[in-house]
Structure 1
């Protein structure tokens, strides 16, 4: 809820000696005009119920992309890498104008760079159907079981916070740090791949997202430790997320699932190996006793959290669209703005990908 700035005239009787009206410096006047895109205001329909997600055959569009990427990386495109390991900002392209071959190239580039930031995009103004059509190029779109969505369009995962709407404030108030590394809905049997996220309303300062390369996190481990992780699987659970929503009167649109995935997975396009654990949804290592599982997972979580040299911070501006590969990254919101005064309104479309495939250390 960005404040408006107005010039105000002070009446003569209260202004200055001499009795003349005087103009003073602009004053900040808080005036909430509501979200810029009210059609995307989150709704939570308690009657909305869905069956279990069915398995499907996934064909990653990055596999059919021209490795030279002529539609994406050409003379009109400016490329700015954010770090050696993750993150690239592209200027000079419109996501909405890319042909199918260009979208294939984008899928490949996102897989290679893990995170791609696009500026000055018209994506937010395309309308529901066109946004969904573009996202479906990367895979069937996950429908979130508990988050706010758009009536008639459950594909949209709406991220919204303002002075009257903050579902997670209680959780934040109980923590020293608000960083929460996670890979979106990793409990799905076929978790997301290329993910699209865009901004509708953004605080004047703050509200960025941290991203981290799980490929580089894996690469930093010793050969002996990589070998130790080989063959291990972990349970990723939606149960806690569903319970959190239900306790606060929110929806649980689908029965929560708990799914086993390999601790280290291989990307189907790049062949890179990546850690696939996150404190948001990973609960335990299969076959380990509780203390064993807790200690190994905590070591990996600490390794991720301390890896500032393979993390980047994505900042947002009007018209920003970010795409990341959810298979080989984790990310965290940074709710460092004052939600009692400002609004943050964003939307995510989350195409699902393949069943995670185990990577073996001896493949290196």
Structure 2
């Protein structure tokens, strides 16, 4: 698909700046850390909350992302870190400039070294199914965490589709906290001592096959297999099938065994996953430090086209002494839910008893 004045898409660096991505850097602060635990400012505007599953995925109504205050945006960052991914409907006023404005509140915006971007803002990447021929391998239909090959991978991604397929085209997320939490203690201890190399290999292959010039260096980076989310303090598995090439310091056979097992859990455990059906004006924001996602490539010949802003985070780390888990945090929530259910059942039984006595 050729670039035209109408679509304003820059396909490769021959049409732009070959060093744009070289300015990528890391966040100097952790967005959402220290925000109000109750998120009172954020939820003051929420008219409806829909949790897609107990531990991952929430849809919020009543929020205008283009009108968030600074306090609300900080509380939203914290909420996304806790819930993994948060969705919003009817955000027609969240245009390219507003996406950039929101993402910039949370950290420096990432310039992708290869994916086509908006002509006016190189930080805004264009996800257009017409730019991805059916035979081309791409990360839109494979499980991954955005740009994990970078020294400072993404913290948050903000995605809005402007063209929605008439059918298909959902996106699925998997919970990295839960992947870690359900491992046996011995395997947890083993993985906590490992690092893994994340690479840009799939982009190098595409570049070799097409001759497309990049917007900057295609990086490889080593990150801990178990990562601490700096907002929640919870541990998450941090490998993915697209960008993680190998486990460092073990044999190739052992590396394959470890990565294959983690990939199997990430991609096949339905109880870790949530699926979102896009509508025009919908926006998804997710935490790449603790989730994995994939587009569902079932919508051709329909078109799916949208814009994504990717926020650069901190260099991944594992804090053995001070990290907690989602499972531990969830235990208190689960007790509260059970207590409410028991209280409701007791109240109903008492009301039924009084009704029976009156009738008698």
Residue pair 1:160, 1:166 contacting (<8 A) in 2 also: yes
CA shift in 2, pair 1:250/1:67, >3 Å: same
For 2:232 and 2:322, locate their aligned partners in 1 and report how far apart those are by CA, in whole Å. Answer: 17
Aligned pairs for 1:47-66 within 5 A: 47-50=16-19, 52-53=22-23, 55-66=25-36
Instruction: Choose 141-150 or 353-362, whichever is displaced more.
Output: 353-362
Of residues 201-210 and 66-75 in structure 1, the stretch that sits farther from structure 2 once superposed is 66-75
Match of 2:61 among 91, 98, 110: 91
In the TM superposition, 1:48-197 aligns within 5 A as: 48-50=17-19, 52-53=22-23, 55-74=25-44, 76-124=46-94, 126=95, 128-162=96-130, 165-167=131-133, 169-171=135-137, 179-197=141-159
1:212-251 aligned within 5 A = 212-251=174-213
Note the C-alpha offset of 1:41: 4.4
- Three-state SS of the structure 2 residue aligned to 1:350 is strand
Name 2:161's counterpart in structure 1: 199
* Residue 13 of structure 1: aligned partner: none
More helix by share: 2
Aligned twin of 2:305: 345
1:49-70 Cα offsets, whole Å, 9 max, x none, are: 1163564452122014222212
1:118–1:321 Cα contact (<8 Å) kept: yes
Deviation at 1:230, TM superposition (A): 1.7
Cα deviation, residue 152, structure 1: 3.2
Cα distance, 1:305 vs. partner?
A: 1.4
Q: Is the 8 A contact 2:99 2:158 kept in 1?
A: no
CA-based RMSD of the aligned residues comes to: 2.1
State how far apart, in whole Å, the 2-side matches of 1:169 and 1:317 are: 27
Task: Quote the Cα distance in structure 2 between the aligned partners of 1:54 and 1:142.
Answer: 6
Superposition deviation, residue 38 in structure 1 = 5.0
Q: Within 1, Cα distance between the matches of 2:321 and 2:246?
A: 21
Q: Aligned residue for 1:310?
A: 272
Cα gap change, 1:73/1:43 in structure 2, threshold over 3 Å: closer, same or farther?
A: same
**Residue 11 of structure 2 aligns with which residue?**
43
Return the alpha-carbon distance in structure 2 between the equivalents of residues 261 and 156 of structure 1.
26
Query: Which residue of the partner structure matches residue 257 of structure 2?
Result: 295
How many residues are aligned here? 317
Task: Tell me by how many angstroms 1:153 deviates.
Answer: 1.2
Specify the SS of the correspondent of 2:197.
strand
Q: Which sections of structure 1, spanning at least 5 residues, go unmatched?
A: 1-36, 173-177
Q: 1:261 to 1:115 in 2, by over 3 A?
A: same
Q: CA–CA distance in 1 between the matches of 2:6 and 2:283? A: 19
**Structure 2: gaps (5+ residues):** 325-360
| Separation of aligned partners in 2, 1:334 and 1:62 | 30
Q: Distance in 1 between matches of 2:279 and 2:11?
A: 25
Q: Provide Cα deviations, 1:310-353, integer angstroms capped at 9, x if missing partner.
A: 101111001101000010000011010122xx211011100011
If the length of structure 2 is used for normalisation, what is the TM-score?
0.83
TM-score, normalisation: structure 1: 0.82
